[in-house]
């Protein structure tokens, strides 16, 4: 492999990691926001607020898994069960 191809791959991988980290941070912020909504909501909206929080946690978990995959340097994609 040529040296320029290797360095381009490194730049591409670095951008992937930066994007994955940004997505994870954004997802984590949404988790905190949804939790805050759950704590402050009225009783009649509590079930919906909690479901919204759980959905945000799931999205944060997926973003963290993608970041971990990139950090590990693997190329396999996780297949949902």
Determine the pLDDT at residue 8.
60
* R_g of the chain, CA atoms, integer Å: 18
- CB burial of residue 72 (10 Å; 0-12, 13-18, 19+): exposed
* Contact between residue 38 and residue 46 where contact means Cβ atoms under 8 Å apart: yes
Measured in whole angstroms, the distance separating CA 2 from the mean position of its chain's CA atoms is 33
pLDDT tens, position by position, for the chain (81 residues)?
Answer: 455 555 565 677 788 999 999 999 999 999 999 999 999 999 999 999 999 999 999 999 999 999 999 888 855 555 454
């Amino acid at each position: 492999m040529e040296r320029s191809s290797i360095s381009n791959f490194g730049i591409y991988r670095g951008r992937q990691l930066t994007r994955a980290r940004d997505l994870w941070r954004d997802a984590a912020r949404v988790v905190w926001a949804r939790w805050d909504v759950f704590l402050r909501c009225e009783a009649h909206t509590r079930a919906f607020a909690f479901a919204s929080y759980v959905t945000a946690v799931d999205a944060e978990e997926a973003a963290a898994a993608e970041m971990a995959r990139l950090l590990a340097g693997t190329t396999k994609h996780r297949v949902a069960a």
